Structure formats: structure tokens, C-alpha cells
């Protein structure tokens, strides 16, 4: 197709001066030549030769300056592009570069022959999914190329002059491009033609889900399933009202209360229409008109609303996150959280107790005012309790508008804590905060009320602390405190009797009894730490501290503990309180090594069991383990290990605040990994700096393989626990032994916006594994709590164990997640055996109070309530509380665990997950 005057593979081979043509098309070509030294310009002449004489047709004649030419440095050639050439024609190019007879280079080249595009192109036989492209076939064309979309093309070589395109989309416009090809390189210009497929015929459905939702007395929303192929919908009601919409929903307004309406629906695509579908509904009874709701008063914790009366309504009701009440047309809501959004539902209640649809009203409370000043005598800021270097400060919750408190000791850094962080004595309306000092001295405490607006004035208190004299240290000899401790108990009882002018203990107010019993149990518990204590000196073998305890070592301690308990229980019995059990403490105070091996032989265990001892506490290097001797009647060996916890390197890793402690009990039968009786454990903490101690929990971990603790550690289980500020330990209960550590467990949920009042309680309960979320970051705080869920919370809080027994209820299977908790509850007396447990039903408030009361009334020192009516008298609905539940419910209220609501105690009301978490937090604080 192209003629060149060169030989060999190199186009410049054999030429003095290379001069060639490239890239020939029908009308264009490119000339290339090598530079000639010293030449600054060239003359180029292009002709179409006929007889190779002067009759040649001149196509181009031009002087070329080298500065105007393109130069390809890789080829070392000048480049000149020719356009407007005649297709399929031989051209003669003459390049002159001097005046001499031989100062020129000739070149012949031929342009390509043009290909005529297809003729008479048209599209015929167009359907929904196909069309035929037709053209006049030219024998000079070897084939045709057809394209009708991205990656949609084909070649036609059969000479038929047509091609049918299939698998098209209905009612869609396509553009077809068709090229004629000659050989493998010559292609014509494309011919383009557009067409549109026909619209698919719609088969309308015979049924459409057409209904009304969100029906009120004035409005309703019509909804229906979207109809495939429909571009619009037509609504009518037969009374002249019509509407055309494109969405599958329509909101109706201006309806008449208690009226039946029928609406008709058709779907259309502009060319055809479906059959008619109908739906009939009745509007709700008259409801509160939102436009008439007015805010008469709004503060940081309350709101007063008024609204117009509704025709036919007997009364009105409202409810929200925490409220429900029958009111008139004026509503006053108290005890709200500041700067919190609430949505209240207002109802008009018609004869027969029929409620209207709710009218929603949303508001946001204001920021609280600056905390006010309290009367100092009413605040009663004083030392509540003092024991050596340990002091408990107390005050009445009297600082107006305070959401939390700031406590500064000796001018140091302020400590802030919310109300739920402190112990609350319900019947004396007092808060308490415990402190521990390291040395004797006089101290000053400064207390302020705090909220987000500011602080109240400071209330100051000065007090002195002094450590008790150290007990003499003796090896294997108990320090006898029976007489001294019992004398203290006798004094409390005698003082109690002296205050009774007309009657006995049973005539005292129940709240006063509780406070007195708390004082009595504080003295009794102190006796556990003093009576029956044995201080040991261990022997070191290698890096292990070892000691063996025999009958002679514990005989005196067991006897004095039994004597103490027997006499203490005589006093408790007079008060109708639960007895305490003998206990012995084995204090290996000299052990500082990380590994220890303590053996109690069979004679020691027999001595303890004969004395009725039910708790043996072993203190080792800051840790404390308490077991029931019944677990090992033939003696045991305790091996304790300790290693550093992993470094808290990232936000995603657990924040360890203790070493990892491992415990292993062995006897004649080998290693004991599980126990029939609960085991008390206390683990020392360190590095508490900015740690939130309320979020500390004991976890079961996989041991690291590095002494530096830098290997990954897996948390296997969460066993809760409470922080003891006096000892710096976290105390919990286990039913088996492995490796344990203390972590700060921060658990946050995404849906706390509506329950800020409960967020702290939820966070604390979740940190200890008592409550859990949905695994997606949500807690569902407003959802109801079931009987099984709350029983699980209670069993987990008090570390109760399920026995190995067959499931007693017909609606509880061994495979159910709640089965072990139901068994534990039944074993502990929290629930009664019956045919069914009804685990998935929402728990009522009185059922919840009964479960809690049964746990609390089983604790040492718990006493029988003589007058439940005294405790429940402030509840207007006390008469509706089930008679068989009153005792347990009254004890729960007495302990401040559950309180009333707006209408009373509301015994049959349900409880939200947020409210349940608040109750759990109170139980944690009580422990």
C-alpha cells in the first residue's frame, strides 16, 4: 500500500541522507529525515507525477527553517506532518538542502485508499428487548463492525447486511455505530443511528398491601407496597377528594375524630392503570391538641404544662422516660435531669378508660442555677465513723441544686464524686464518704456542692486521726480480743436498752433499727479481724516462702473465735438478727516473695471444723483468700504465684492496675479447680493515679510467658468486685481458682442520651459484667427487664452458684442461657420452686423487690421487720402490694435499694433496663 525507496530492514539503509515517509493514511503522511550538517533550512516540494515532466500536479511547495521543525532526538530525525493529500495516490517528495545538482533527496510514497462508510443504515423491527440494524452490503467491504454501548459490539462478516441486537432494556435509547472494513487495517468513518426500545407491557398485581398507620383523631398515614413499573399513584375517597403522588405513602390531615374513612388506590405508568385497591380505617377518639400545649414554667429540673380540655375526656394521662400519672389540664413534672431532652406523651382518657392516641411534646430542661448555700446545722457535716486512721465523713444532702460534690483534704487536689458514688442512708438522708490516712495528725476537709454552672461556698471540718497500737506479733499465737470486742458490743446493747423508755427493740422505728444494727455489725465484723487471728513466720526455700499449719497452731484461735461468735450471737438473737459464723485469720505478714506454698494439714482442718469455723482467711503479700474448711476436711496445700501484668500500651488494651495472681489448691485428690462453697478473694492494686476505682473489676486471665508482662494476655472472665479504699484491694467472690488480675473496665454505650440520670450506674454495672449491651455498642436502656435478666443480674452481683441439678421448671431448659442463674436463684432461696418460672416475662417492681429482699434478709445481721406498714406508709398504693411479698419488699425499701415513683411504689409496673442498673449500683455500694 505504501512505496518507499529504501532497502533492508533499516529504512535509511543505503541512503546518503535518510528521507522516508511513515504513518500514511488516506489523506495524511509523515516525512522524516536526518539532519545535514550545516544546513539551516530545507525546501520541500510534493507533487503527483503524471509523465514525470512539468505537467506534474504540485501539492505543496514550502521553505522549512529548522527552528520551526519538530525534531525526534531518539531517532535523530526531523519530523514533518502532511495533510490534505489525495487518497490512494502516488506522491513524489523532493527535499532540497543546497544549490548543487546533487543537494537533494527524492521520495515516492502512496496514500491509503479510503473506505466508503456503510450506506442506507437503518434500524427496523424494534421491540422491548431487541432491534435489527440494516445497511446496504458493499462487496468491496470485507466486514462490518457494530457497537451499541460500552463493551457491547460485534463483527459481521456474512454479507447479510443486517444484525439483530438482543438483550436490550425496554424503553431505553441506544446509539449504534457501524464501520465498514477493508482487509485488516482500512476502516471507514462510522455511521451512527439512534433508536428507542418499546416500553414493556406492565402486568399489574391483583393484590397490594394498602393500609393506614399512625392513626390519630386528626391524622393518619396511608402506606402501600411499591408497584413495579408504576410511575405514580392515584388516591381518592369517593367524596370528591383526589391526590396523585409518586411515593408509596401519603399523610392525611384534618380528619374528624371517631370517623370511618375509605380510600381507593390505583397505580399507573402513564399509559395503563392498575385495578382499584381499597382500605377502610377509623380515626382515633379525640386527643389533646398539640397547638394548645403551653409551657407555664421550665427550669433545670422541672416543667409545668397546660393544654386545652378535650371534648368527652374524663381525665388526662401523661408518660415519658420516668413518668406516668393521671392529671387535669395542668401538669407539673419534677426530678428531671438538667439540659436533657424529654418527650412527653399526653393522652385524653375517655369513658371506660379508653385512651386517645398520644400527643407528643418535646422539651429540653435548662442549665442548673449555681448551687445554693445550705444551712450549716442542716448540712450536719461531721465525722460519721472513725477507726484508727480510717475516717468516714457524713453530711445531709442539703446543698440546693448540687449534682455532685467536691471534697478537698488538707488543701490538696480536689476529688469530685457524684451522688451515686457515695453510700446513702435512706432514712437519715445522709451521704457518707470513707477516707484512709497513712499517719497520725489533724486534718481539714472542705466540702462544696457542684454542678455544671459552678460551686457553692465551702463547708469546712477539722478532725484528728491516730493509729491504734500495733498488736504484739507472736508466731502461732492468736491475739485475744474476745473480751474487749464483746465489751464494746455489750456497751452498744446497754446503751440501746437505756434509750428504750417504754418498750423493747421491736418498738423502735425500723429506720433507727437499721442504723443501730449497722453499728452493731461494724463492731462484730471488727471482731473477725481481731479474734482468731494467728500471725505466722514463714521459711524461705529458694524463692518460695513456705509454712505448714497444724492443729496446735490454730486451736486457740478457733476456740476464741467460737467463744466470740457464740456470745455475739446471743446479743444478735435478742434483736432478731441473723447469726454470724466463727472465722480464723492466718496472717503470713512476713511474706513478700512472689511465690508461696502454705499447707494446712488434716489435724488443723479437723480442729477448725470441730469449732464450727466456716471461714479460714489466708493473708499473703497483700492478697487474701477465704475458704470454707468443709472444702478440704483432710487438709490442703495452697500454691500462690505472682507476676507483672502487661503494660497498658494502647487504648484498646485492658488497663491493668494489679499484678497477675495465680492460686492453686491441692489435696489428696489432686488439684481443685472448682469449689462447692464461695471463696472470698482480695487482690492488691497499684498505680491508681487517674483510675476510676468504681470501674475496677477482677478478671480471669491467661498467664503471660514473660516476667516483664509484655506478652499478650487474654481476659477469660469478669468476676466483678468492689474497691476497698482502706486496704487498697478489690474484693470479690470466686467459685474456682486460676490466674486473676484487677483492671479498670470502661464500658461505654451509644444510647445513653435519654437516661443521663442512670448512665453512671449502667457504666459501673457493665464494668463488673453484671449488665451487658447488644454487642453493637447499645444498651437499650428504655427496654423492659425480664424475670430471667434481672435474676441473672442479682445472681452475678452476689456471686451465687448454681448447683448441679435437673431444671425444676417446665419453661426452663438446660440449654437456655438463663438456666444456671435460675438454678442458683432457686438454690439460694431467691425464687420458689413451682411448675413454671416464666423467664421471658417482664418483671414487676414488687417481684424485683421480693428477689432483692430475699438476698438481703439472708445476710448476717439482717433482722426481722416488726412493722412493715411503717416503712410502706408513704406509698399511696401500699394496699395493692401482694401480701406474701410485703416483708421482702419492705426490707428492700428500708435498705434504700428501691424507692417509690410518682404514684407510689407501683408494684405491678415494669422496670426499664436503666432503672435496673441503678438498683444494681445501689446493691454494689451496699456490699
620 touches 592 (CB < 8 A): no
Distance CA 553, CA 253 (A): 88
| Homologous superfamily, domain 119-196 | Immunoglobulins (2.60.40.10)
Please check whether the two domains, 210-282 and 538-744, share a CATH topology. Answer: no
Helices 787-797 & 845-856, crossing angle to 10 degrees?
A: 20
pLDDT greater than 90 at residue 815: no
Where residue 97 falls among pLDDT bands split at 50, 70, 90? confident
Distance CA 916, CA 459 (A): 34
Residue 203 CA to chain centroid, in angstroms?
47
DSSP class of residue 468 equals P
Where residue 16 falls among pLDDT bands split at 50, 70, 90? low
DSSP bridge pairs for 119: 136
Question: Does domain 19-110 match CATH 2.60.40.10?
Answer: yes
Distance CA 812, CA 823 (A): 10
**How long, in residues, is the chain?**
927
Distance CA 680, CA 49 (A): 115
Q: Three cell numbers at 617?
A: 482467711
- Residue-averaged pLDDT of the chain: 82
Identify the residue with better confidence: 408 or 709: 408
Q: Which top CATH class is 538-744?
A: mainly beta
pLDDT greater than 50 at residue 255: yes
List pLDDT tens digits, range 875-895.
888 999 999 999 999 999 988
Q: Three cell numbers at 461?
A: 471540718
Return the CATH number of the domain spanning residue range 290-364: 2.60.40.10
pLDDT greater than 90 at residue 164: yes
Distance CA 728, CA 138 (A): 100
Q: Beta strands of 799-896 (E only): which ranges?
A: none
Q: Which fold has domain 210-282?
A: Immunoglobulin-like (2.60.40)
Region 156-183: what's the mean pLDDT?
Answer: 87
Of 432-446, 617-631, 787-801, the least confident: 432-446
Whose CA is closest to 334, among 298, 364, 383, 308?
298
Which pLDDT does position 487 carry in this prediction? 54
Whose CA is closest to 849, among 898, 896, 895, 894?
898
Beta-carbon contacts of 310 under 8 Å, excluding residues fewer than 6 positions away, are 286, 287, 288, 289, 316, 348, 356
Where residue 449 falls among pLDDT bands split at 50, 70, 90? confident
pLDDT greater than 80 at residue 14: no
Q: Three cell numbers at 86?
A: 489525495
Which pLDDT does position 887 carry in this prediction? 93
Beta-carbon contacts of 162 under 8 Å, excluding residues fewer than 6 positions away, are 132, 133, 134, 135
H or E, element range at 556:
helix 551-574
Which pLDDT does position 591 carry in this prediction? 63
Angle (CA) 719-852-849 rounded to 5° is 140
SS3 335: coil
Distance CA 602, CA 55 (A): 135
Distance CA 132, CA 115 (A): 24
List pLDDT tens digits, range 565-596.
888 888 788 778 888 888 899 888 656 677 88
Give percent above pLDDT 70 in the chain: 84
Which pLDDT does position 468 carry in this prediction? 45
Q: Three cell numbers at 10?
A: 533499516
Of 434-438, 618-622, 817-821, 845-849, the least confident: 434-438
H or E, element range at 443:
strand 441-451
The region that residue 439 occupies, defined by phi over 0 for left and psi between -120 and 50 for alpha, beta otherwise, is beta
Of 46-55, 299-308, 703-712, 866-875, the least confident: 703-712
pLDDT greater than 50 at residue 303: yes
Torsion, Cα of 484, 487, 489, 495 (10° steps): -140
Of 175-189, 466-480, 528-542, 775-789, the least confident: 466-480
pLDDT greater than 70 at residue 480: no
pLDDT greater than 60 at residue 327: no
Kindly list the domain boundaries of the chain, sorted by start residue: 19-110, 119-196, 210-282, 290-364, 376-465, 538-744, 758-926
Read out DSSP for 580-628?
---EEEEEETT--SSEEEEEE-HHHHHHHHHTT--EEEEEETTEEEEE-
585 touches 617 (CB < 8 A): yes
900 touches 890 (CB < 8 A): no
Give percent above pLDDT 90 in the chain: 30
Q: Which top CATH class is 376-465?
A: mainly beta
Looking only at the bridges linking them, the beta strands covering 77-82 and 670-672 are unpaired
812 touches 818 (CB < 8 A): yes
401 touches 369 (CB < 8 A): yes
CB half-sphere exposure, 300, CA atoms < 13 A? 13
List pLDDT tens digits, range 686-705.
888 888 999 999 998 875 54
List pLDDT tens digits, range 746-792.
999 999 988 888 999 999 999 999 999 988 999 999 999 999 999 99
Whose CA is closest to 923, among 795, 823, 827?
795
Where residue 243 falls among pLDDT bands split at 50, 70, 90? very high
Which pLDDT does position 681 carry in this prediction? 94
H or E, element range at 679:
strand 674-684
Where residue 805 falls among pLDDT bands split at 50, 70, 90? low
Where residue 377 falls among pLDDT bands split at 50, 70, 90? low
588 touches 540 (CB < 8 A): no
590 touches 538 (CB < 8 A): yes
Amino acid at each position: 500500500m505504501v512505496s518507499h525507496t529504501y532497502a533492508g530492514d533499516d529504512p535509511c539503509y543505503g541512503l546518503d541522507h535518510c528521507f522516508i515517509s511513515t504513518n500514511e493514511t488516506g489523506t495524511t503522511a509523515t516525512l522524516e529525515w536526518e539532519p545535514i550538517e550545516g544546513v539551516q533550512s530545507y525546501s520541500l516540494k510534493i507533487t503527483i507525477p503524471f509523465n514525470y515532466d512539468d505537467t506534474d500536479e504540485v501539492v505543496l511547495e514550502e521553505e522549512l527553517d529548522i527552528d520551526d521543525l519538530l525534531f525526534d532526538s531518539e531517532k535523530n530525525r526531523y519530523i514533518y506532518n502532511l495533510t490534505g493529500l489525495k487518497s490512494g495516490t502516488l506522491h513524489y517528495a523532493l527535499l532540497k538542502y543546497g544549490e548543487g545538482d546533487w543537494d537533494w533527496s527524492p521520495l515516492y510514497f502512496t496514500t491509503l485508499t479510503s473506505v466508503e462508510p456503510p450506506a442506507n443504515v437503518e434500524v427496523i423491527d424494534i421491540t422491548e428487548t431487541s432491534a435489527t440494524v440494516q445497511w446496504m452490503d458493499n462487496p468491496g467491504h470485507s466486514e462490518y463492525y457494530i457497537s451499541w454501548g460500552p463493551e457491547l459490539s460485534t463483527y459481521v462478516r456474512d454479507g447479510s447486511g443486517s444484525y439483530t441486537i438482543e438483550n436490550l432494556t425496554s424503553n431505553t435509547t441506544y446509539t449504534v455505530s457501524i464501520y465498514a472494513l477493508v482487509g485488516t487495517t482500512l476502516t471507514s468513518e462510522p455511521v451512527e443511528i439512534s433508536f428507542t426500545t418499546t416500553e414493556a407491557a406492565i402486568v399489574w398485581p391483583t393484590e397490594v398491601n394498602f393500609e393506614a398507620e399512625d392513626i390519630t383523631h386528626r391524622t393518619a398515614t396511608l402506606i402501600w407496597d411499591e408497584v413495579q413499573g408504576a410511575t405514580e399513584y392515584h388516591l381518592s375517597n369517593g367524596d370528591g377528594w383526589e391526590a396523585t403522588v409518586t411515593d408509596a405513602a401519603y399523610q392525611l390531615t384534618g380528619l374528624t375524630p371517631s370517623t370511618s374513612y375509605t380510600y381507593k388506590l390505583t397505580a399507573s405508568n402513564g399509559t395503563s392503570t392498575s385495578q382499584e385497591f381499597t382500605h377502610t380505617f377509623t380515626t382515633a377518639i379525640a386527643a389533646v391538641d398539640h397547638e394548645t400545649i403551653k409551657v407555664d414554667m421550665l427550669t433545670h429540673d422541672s416543667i409545668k404544662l397546660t393544654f386545652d380540655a378535650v371534648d368527652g375526656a374524663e381525665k388526662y394521662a401523661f408518660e415519658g422516660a420516668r413518668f406516668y400519672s393521671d392529671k387535669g389540664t395542668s401538669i407539673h413534672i419534677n426530678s428531671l435531669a438538667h439540659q436533657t431532652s424529654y418527650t412527653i406523651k399526653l393522652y385524653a382518657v375517655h369513658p371506660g378508660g379508653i385512651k386517645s392516641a398520644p400527643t407528643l411534646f418535646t422539651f429540653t430542661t435548662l442549665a442548673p442555677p449555681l448551687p445554693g448555700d445550705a444551712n450549716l446545722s442542716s448540712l450536719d457535716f461531721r465525722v460519721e465513723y472513725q477507726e484508727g486512721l480510717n475516717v468516714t465523713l457524713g453530711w445531709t444532702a442539703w446543698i440546693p441544686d448540687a449534682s455532685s460534690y467536691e471534697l478537698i483534704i488538707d488543701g490538696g487536689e480536689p476529688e469530685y464524686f457524684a451522688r451515686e458514688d457515695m453510700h446513702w442512708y435512706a432514712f437519715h438522708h445522709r451521704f457518707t464518704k470513707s477516707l484512709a490516712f497513712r499517719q497520725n495528725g489533724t486534718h481539714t476537709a472542705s466540702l462544696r456542692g457542684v454542678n455544671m454552672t459552678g460551686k457553692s461556698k465551702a463547708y469546712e471540718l477539722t478532725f484528728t486521726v491516730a493509729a491504734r497500737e500495733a498488736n504484739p506479733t507472736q508466731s502461732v499465737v492468736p491475739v485475744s480480743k474476745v473480751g474487749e470486742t464483746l465489751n464494746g458490743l455489750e456497751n452498744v446493747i446497754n446503751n440501746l436498752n437505756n434509750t428504750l423508755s417504754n418498750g423493747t427493740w421491736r418498738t423502735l422505728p425500723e429506720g433507727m433499727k437499721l442504723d443501730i444494727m449497722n453499728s452493731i455489725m461494724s463492731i462484730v465484723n471488727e471482731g473477725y479481724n481481731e479474734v482468731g487471728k494467728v500471725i505466722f513466720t514463714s521459711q524461705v526455700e529458694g524463692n518460695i516462702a513456705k509454712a505448714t499449719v497444724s492443729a496446735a497452731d490454730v486451736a486457740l484461735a478457733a476456740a476464741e473465735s467460737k467463744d466470740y461468735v457464740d456470745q455475739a450471737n446471743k446479743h444478735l438473737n435478742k434483736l432478731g438478727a441473723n447469726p454470724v459464723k466463727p472465722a480464723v485469720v492466718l496472717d503470713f505478714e512476713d511474706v513478700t516473695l512472689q511465690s508461696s506454698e502454705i499447707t494446712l494439714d488434716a489435724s488443723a482442718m479437723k480442729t477448725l471444723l470441730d469449732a464450727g469455723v466456716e471461714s479460714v482467711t489466708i493473708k499473703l503479700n497483700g492478697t487474701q483468700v477465704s475458704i470454707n474448711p468443709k472444702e478440704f476436711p483432710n487438709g490442703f496445700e495452697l500454691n500462690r504465684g505472682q507476676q507483672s501484668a502487661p503494660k497498658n500500651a494502647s487504648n484498646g488494651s485492658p488497663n491493668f492496675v494489679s499484678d497477675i495472681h495465680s492460686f492453686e489448691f491441692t489435696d489428696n485428690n489432686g488439684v481443685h479447680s472448682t469449689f462447692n462453697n464461695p471463696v472470698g478473694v482480695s487482690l492488691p492494686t497499684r498505680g491508681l493515679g487517674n483510675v476510676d476505682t468504681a470501674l475496677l473489676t477482677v478478671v480471669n486471665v491467661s498467664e503471660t510467658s514473660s516476667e516483664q508482662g509484655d506478652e499478650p494476655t487474654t481476659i477469660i472472665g469478669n468476676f466483678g468486685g468492689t474497691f476497698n479504699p482502706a486496704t487498697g484491694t478489690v474484693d470479690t467472690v470466686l467459685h474456682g481458682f486460676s490466674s486473676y488480675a484487677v483492671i479498670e473496665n470502661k464500658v461505654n454505650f451509644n444510647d445513653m442520651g435519654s437516661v443521663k440520670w442512670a448512665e453512671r450506674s449502667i457504666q459501673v454495672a457493665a464494668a463488673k459484667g453484671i449488665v451487658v449491651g447488644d454487642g453493637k455498642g447499645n444498651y437499650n436502656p428504655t427496654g423492659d427487664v425480664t424475670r430471667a435478666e434481672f435474676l441473672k443480674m442479682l445472681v452475678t452481683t452476689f456471686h451465687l452458684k448454681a448447683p448441679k441439678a435437673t431444671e425444676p421448671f417446665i419453661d426452663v431448659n438446660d440449654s437456655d442461657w438463663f438456666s444456671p442463674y435460675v438454678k442458683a436463684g432457686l438454690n439460694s432461696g431467691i425464687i420458689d420452686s413451682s411448675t413454671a418460672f416464666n423467664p421471658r416475662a417482664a418483671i414487676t417492681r414488687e417481684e424485683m423487690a421480693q428477689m432483692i429482699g430475699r438476698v438481703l434478709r439472708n445476710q448476717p445481721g439482717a433482722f426481722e421487720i416488726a412493722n412493715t406498714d411503717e416503712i410502706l406508709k408513704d406509698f399511696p398504693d401500699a394496699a395493692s402490694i401482694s401480701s406474701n411479698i410485703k416483708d421482702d419488699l419492705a426490707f428492700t425499701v428500708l435498705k434504700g435499694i428501691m424507692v417509690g415513683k410518682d404514684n407510689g411504689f407501683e408494684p405491678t409496673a415494669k422496670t426499664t433496663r436503666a432503672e435496673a442498673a441503678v438498683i444494681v449500683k445501689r446493691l454494689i455500694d451496699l456490699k
